[in-house]
Each structure stands twice: as C-alpha cells, then as structure tokens.
Copies of this chain bind each other. A is one copy, B any other.
Amino acid sequence: MILFVKGQFAMEFKFSEKVAHLQASQIREILKYSADPAVISLAAGSPAPEALPAKELEELSKEILNEEPGIAFQYGVTEGYTPLRDEVKNILRKRGIFNDEYDDVVITSGAQQANELSAKVLCNEGDTLLVENPCFIGSLNAFKSYHVDLQGVTLEHDGVNIAELEEKLRGGNVKLVYLIPNFQNPTGYTMSWEKRQKAFELCGRYGAVILEDNPYGDLRFAGEDIKCIKELDTEGRVIYSGTFSKILSPGIRVGYVCAHKDIIQKIVVCKQVADVHTTMWSQMLCYRFLKKYDLDEHINKLHEVYKHKTELMISEIRKNFSSKITFSEPQGGLFIWCTLPEGVTTQQMIDFCTTAVKDYKVAIVPGSAFSIKDTDECRSFRLNFSTPTDANIVKGIEILGKLSKEMFGD
C-alpha cells in the first residue's frame, strides 16, 4: 500500500475513507465572506445577541471563580457536572421526556456532540441512517464522517413524508432516524403531532432508533406547543438531544442527551475518548443560571425578541421579494426557507446566492448546502432572522428583493 508520495517539501496523505470525502461546510465558506464588515449576513445560525443573558452570566461567572475555582479549573467526570446533570433530569422529567425507569442523561459539548456520538455508538459503516431532506448540515457531516448509508426522506411543511419514511424503513437495515421536529434547520418547518406519532410507530415496527434533536424547541413564539416524540417512548427507542446554545450562549458549548441508560453508557465511553468532559465553567454557569433565574421567564423574554424579528423579516419579504418566491412562516426557531420559482435550477439558485454576497454584500445560504446528495435538485435558500439587527433585516431583504426581481421577474 502506498501511503503517500514524497513531494519536494511535503507528503501526500492518504486519509481514511470516512473522512476523505468530507468537505468543510458550505455555510462556513459563505460565513467567510461575512467577515467583510460591509456584508449584511442573513447566513448565520447564531441566536440573537441581544437575547443572550450576558450580564447575568458574567455575574454568575464571578461567583463560580470566587467560590469554587478548584472545581472550575480541575478535571471533572465525563458524565457531566453532577448538579447540572440532576437539574437537566428534573427539567426533562417535568416535561415527560426523562423516564426514571430506564433513562439517563449526559452533558455534552453542545448538541452537535450529542448527535455525533449517537451515530458513533449505534452505526457501523454502511448502516442506513434516515434524515429529513433537506437536513441540518452539521448533523449530515457528522453522520457522513462515520461512513453510513445516508438516505433522505422528503420534508414537507408538517414533517417528513410518512409514506416515503415507511418505504425506506421497509427497505431494511435502518439503524437510526434523525429528526428535528421543531422549527427545523434549514426550513423552519414543524412536524405535526399526527406525523410524530406515526413516525414513532413506524420506527417501532421496523426496529429503528429515533434521534430527536430539539435545539429550537424553547424558541416557540407563536402557536401551540407540540409534544416531543420522546414523550411517546416507553422502551428507550428515542434518543433526545437538547442544548443551552440558543437560550443561554452557544460559545460556552453545553448540550445534553437523554436516552436509555445502556445507550448513555456507550455515549459516555465515546465522550471520554473525545474530550474527557465538557468545560467545567460552562456547565457550572448553566447550573447556576437554572438555580438563580426563572427559566420560563427568561425564555418568554427571548420570545419577544424572536417574534419581533421574524415578523419584521416576513413583512419585508412580502413588501420586497418577487411574488414568485415562496417562503415558510415559522412559529419559532431561527430560520425562514425561501423557494425560487419553479423551473429555476440548482445552479441558478447558487448563482443567486453568490451574486447576493459578492455583488450586493448580502450573505444567505444556498439550500443545496442542506441536500443529502450532491445530485439532489434544490431551488431554495435559507434566511436567518435572529442574528442581524432590525436595520440590517430591512436593508438586507430590500437588496435581496431587488435582485430577486431582476433575476426572476416581479
């Protein structure tokens, strides 16, 4: 086997098959354009900066480093900082998500780690993993990095197409079904209660585990809450992952996963070899926030911010966009999904996004970034309303509107 060929100065490496085909996220590539301060970015996936409780966290940080520096600065256990773990269990127990009979919880370095490790513990190379199409790129790449057979199920306004889900499950060898039922990334779509029940039942029938990723669930600013799939679970079929990224801070990197204790035990072993444990200070911050503040009250404040920003962006879209463009009207989360007129090709959609950032200094994410296969057709793009200021929402949408009319007519 030739591992590498000697060059003049450096070697050519032979990477593992699971990693060789992986590319850096297209979103992050577009975010690089956003480094130009003149660019209005509607491409991010960050929570609204003004909604993060920075002052409160700063105060709590002082308390932590003053009272318990020894815990904050030394090694901790892989499972997570025990007081936070217990508090997360309490919250999930109250919501009917944590089952005392068989569930356990581990604190992770963001929900990203929860999802990646769930795939690692369950999937061999070649095992089938079903995802919504389109799907959050961070999870897509995490799954791809374990060389699974990734298959998409068409995502509709009220969740995955159930007939297609059943057909793919019937095809056999499906180990895991990955779903973001609330305000999905990139579409903002929410799965209906009927479809949640149906998906749970089908996974039971065909022996697949469900990975329910719920990063945006707390950010519902309109409509009625819909129960989590995990609440239907009576035997440990559902792995549930959540995060403090959207409600407290993404930079502190704290998420969690709630699942059957046998699964949690394996996730703990994999987390131990991944990063030993999540930053202690970050975990202690989350714990102290939960103890000192009323989480519901805090979340209600976030809702005002998010509701305002969504409504602003949607009213600006109505005013400015070519009438041939359709768009989702989410009741929560961070994203609006816009679809260019029928007949527009994937390449034309990408050209639209590229022209927007290069010539008009407005960054948006081409929908193809979230496609399962490179060959999937896509004429949609993703807008983020949480990160930009009101002024930039107005200006950004106005510019995109002008460009959309130029390219696709009024």
Binary per-residue interface labels of chain A (250-283) against chain B in the complex, 1 for a CB within 8 Å, 0 otherwise: 1111000000101101101110111111111110
A: contact size bracket:
35 or more
**A274 interface neighbour in B116, B249, B250, Cβ under 8 Å:** B116
B65 near A61 with CB under 8 A, answer yes
A65 near B58 with CB under 8 A, answer yes
Nearest to A53 among chain B residues (CB) is: B73
Interface residues in A208-240 (C-beta closer than 8 Å to B): 208-209, 234-237
Which B residues are in CB contact (< 8 Å) with A3?
A: 175, 207-209
**A272 interface neighbour in B24, B78, B270, B281, Cβ under 8 Å:** B24
Choose the segment among A138-146, A303-311, A313-321, A353-361 that binds chain B (4+ C-beta atoms closer than 8 Å): A138-146
Nearest to A279 among chain B residues (CB) is: B279
Inter-chain CA distance A236–B2, complex, in Å, is 16
Which B residues are in CB contact (< 8 Å) with A235?
A: 6-7, 9-11
**A16 interface neighbour in B66, B102, B123, B279, Cβ under 8 Å:** B123
A11 near B74 with CB under 8 A, answer no
Nearest chain B CB to A7 CB, angstrom units: 7
Inter-chain CA distance A363–B195, complex, in Å, is 53
Nearest chain B CB to A375 CB, angstrom units: 21
Inter-chain CA distance A19–B125, complex, in Å, is 12
A120 near B145 with CB under 8 A, answer yes
Nearest chain B CB to A50 CB, angstrom units: 10
Copies in the complex: 2
Q: Are A279 and B266 CB-contacts (below 8 A) given A65-B58, A207-B2?
A: no
B22 near A262 with CB under 8 A, answer no
Inter-chain CA distance A86–B262, complex, in Å, is 42
6 other contacts beyond A23-B269, A274-B275, with CB at 8 A cut-off?
Answer: A11-B236, A13-B236, A57-B69, A109-B274, A251-B281, A252-B279
Instruction: List the 10 closest pairs (A to B, CB-CB), nearest first.
Output: A142-B273, A251-B280, A73-B249, A3-B207, A109-B275, A279-B279, A58-B65, A54-B69, A10-B102, A10-B236
**Which residues does A use to contact B, with CB under 8 Å?**
1-4, 6-7, 9-19, 22-25, 28, 44-46, 49, 52, 54, 57-58, 61-62, 65-66, 69-78, 101-102, 109-110, 112-113, 116, 120-125, 127, 138, 141-142, 145-146, 172-173, 175, 207-209, 234-237, 249-253, 260, 262-263, 265-266, 268-270, 272-282
> Can you give 29 contacting A-B residue pairs, CB < 8 Å?
A6-B235, A9-B102, A10-B102, A11-B237, A15-B266, A16-B123, A18-B120, A23-B269, A24-B265, A25-B272, A46-B74, A49-B70, A58-B65, A58-B66, A61-B61, A109-B274, A109-B275, A112-B276, A116-B274, A120-B145, A138-B273, A138-B276, A141-B272, A141-B273, A145-B269, A145-B270, A145-B273, A252-B280, A281-B281
